[in-house]
Structure 1
Amino acid sequence: MGTSDVNGKSSSSSSLVKDFLRKCGGVAVIDGGFATELERHGADLNDPLWSAKCLFTDPHLVRAVHLDYLEAGADIILSSSYQATIQGFKAKGYSVEESESLLKRSVEIACEARDVYYNRCRESSSDHSTDGKILKQRPILVAASVGSYGAYLADGSEYSGEYGDAVDLKFLKDFHRRRVQLLADSGADLIAFETVPNKLEAQAFVELLKEEDIKTPAWLAFNSKDGVNVVSGDSLLECAAIGESCEKVLAVGINCTPPRFILDLILSIKPSNTGITDEDFVPYVNKWCEAGASLVGGCCRTTPNTIRAIHQALSGRRTV
């Protein structure tokens, strides 16, 4: 994914990201696809919870995937909570307390992976080990991933934004409220609202950030299938404006979108922009950064090899 911080923010949250980007040399690399990597490690994700299932069946695999991305050069790793919800865990028979614990555990595992990575860096005699892994002491952020309501439904509606007339702003805020609160207090550095399909859900997320007095900064990533609007048909510019209205939203971006659309989308919402796509998008990366993207990484079906290639493609652009 690629994003740039939203201009005009004067909060300490904005300073956090600006300082992080400065230490990264102006461009930071986000991790890539998670579920497919879990499957490559042997996980069975045939479940409505998808990758969140591994939080209680295979947490060691979750940690291993995080480490793979860190060793591939990722500067930001996202927790395995995209499809993790209290409602979803309760449907599997977990209590509210157990469900909340699993949500917090998703961030804890990512933080543990970061600690393990730093230990490996200290044990390494150079920045790069002989097997090609990138072992370099550098700033790393953990972002708590929050998927859309459609991700919970597991019916593909996060790619259409069609939730039906019964789903209004209050419904979405009530659905997401406790999860957002828990993840904001979990120790994550950022909250990543991913695959937001419409203005309504963007507004719900932004209002929760404001109403719950959440201190953790966030980004909003929308998905598009026509290169102009988000998947629901809502204007991307209007969606970006919703993000820009909240000082806690430090970046607005694009994910789960064909790479050929990313550059124009970045330019259309500049200075707040982003891009995420599949394995063949590495040649686009420098163009996205030239257009203003400052966070670039991967999405569905991308791998640690993709992130390693992005890291290498940006090596000449990064100033440290």
Structure 2
Amino acid sequence: MTDFATALTQRPVVLDGGLGTLLETRGNDVTSDLWSARVLRDDPDEVRAAHAEFVTAGAEVVITASYQIGFGGEIPDAEVEALLRRSVTAARDAGAAVVAASVGPVGALRADGSEYTGAYGLTLAELRDAHRRRLHVLADAGADVLAIETIPSPLEVEALALELAALDMPAFVSLSADSTGFAGRGALAAALREAASAPGVVAVGVNCCAPGSVLPALADAPDLPLVVYPNTGETWEAATRTWHGGAAPLADDAPAWVAAGARLVGGCCRSRPADIAAIAAAVR
């Protein structure tokens, strides 16, 4: 692909879909607190094969299986760096044109649903510490861009923006539009502007939200290429670790997202290769 940032100014670029969803569909157990990271640890070839399915479906950007991997989480710190690097290798070996190294919120490491609220009880300095080492490892692991995703609160956005200043690495920052950590559209818009101001950030937007939340979230977005990859509209219940409700066809809304400025478009939880193929056809 042309330089990633340049490509975003020229046309919509297609992201992949829900990696954990596809791994489960392929018969893998993703019910542990580690989700897809468990498969990456125990069967990296299976993660590579799942990435390859999305590439075949039309995804130009593949997001790594590092969302739940971080220092101070369930995985012993001695294993974390190797797994972060393995996540980039698995995506690269799947034939991805662009490898985006996933940096999930602190709540993803806790697996307690706090990634949808940002209610961690951590200070700005503690949030910066929680993200710093992982960011540096992934920036050095050979990815093309950092995918800072599903961030649920203004404070965590601020922490990540400050840490990005120390990295010479392009990134896109995607917020959890339905998070209770953003008290209304004004808070979300302010957080998008904060993210857009960070060095190296080439796109900002929203992910892991209902499709109907996308356009309101983008209404006051900064003048930067936008990233959009919602879930399929089903509702996640953290207590039972189950999804409820019906799925929406994401491709139906994709042209409207592009018209609103989205230049990175894909799917999050519950979206499968068929959804990505349909999105690719709709935006091209």
TM range (shorter): 0.7 to 0.9
Size of the aligned set, in residue pairs, is 263
Q: Counterpart of 2:177?
A: 224
- 2:64–2:101 Cα contact (<8 Å) kept: yes
User: Shift of the alpha carbon at 1:260?
Assistant: 1.3
User: Shift of the alpha carbon at 1:245?
Assistant: 1.7
Residue 195 (str. 1) matches residue 147 (str. 2):
no
Q: Counterpart of 1:248?
A: 200
SS in 1 for 2:150: strand
User: Shift of the alpha carbon at 1:58?
Assistant: 1.3
Residue 19 (str. 1) matches residue 6 (str. 2):
yes
Residue in structure 2 matching 1:264, options 216, 221, 242: 216
Q: Counterpart of 1:295?
A: 264
Tell me how far apart the structure 1 counterparts of residues 56 and 215 of structure 2 sit (CA, whole Å).
28
User: Shift of the alpha carbon at 1:233?
Assistant: 2.6
- 2:267–2:275 Cα contact (<8 Å) kept: yes
Tell me how far apart the structure 2 counterparts of residues 200 and 238 of structure 1 sit (CA, whole Å).
11
Structure 2 unmatched runs, 5+: 233-247
Residue in structure 1 matching 2:44, options 43, 59, 66: 59
User: Shift of the alpha carbon at 1:240?
Assistant: 1.1
Bigger Rg over Cα: 1
Q: Counterpart of 2:116?
A: 159
User: Shift of the alpha carbon at 1:95?
Assistant: 5.3
Identity %: 39
User: Shift of the alpha carbon at 1:270?
Assistant: 4.4
4+ runs of 1 displaced by more than 4 Å? none
Q: Aligned partner of 2:90: which letter?
A: I
Q: Which has the higher contact order (CA 8 A, sep 6+)?
A: 1
Q: Aligned partner of 1:303: which letter?
A: R
SS in 2 for 1:309: helix
User: Shift of the alpha carbon at 1:112?
Assistant: 1.0
Query: Which residues of 2 match residues 1-320 of structure 1 at below 5 A?
Result: 16-21=3-8, 26-88=11-73, 91-92=74-75, 94=76, 96=78, 98-114=79-95, 140-164=97-121, 167-210=122-165, 212=166, 214-225=167-178, 230-234=179-183, 235-272=187-224, 273-277=226-230, 278=232, 279-315=248-284
> TM-score, structure 1 length as denominator?
0.78
Tell me how far apart the structure 2 counterparts of residues 256 and 171 of structure 1 sit (CA, whole Å).
25
User: Shift of the alpha carbon at 1:39?
Assistant: 1.0
Alignment RMSD: 1.7
The structure whose residues are more often strand, as a share, is 2
Tell me how far apart the structure 1 counterparts of residues 180 and 177 of structure 2 sit (CA, whole Å).
5
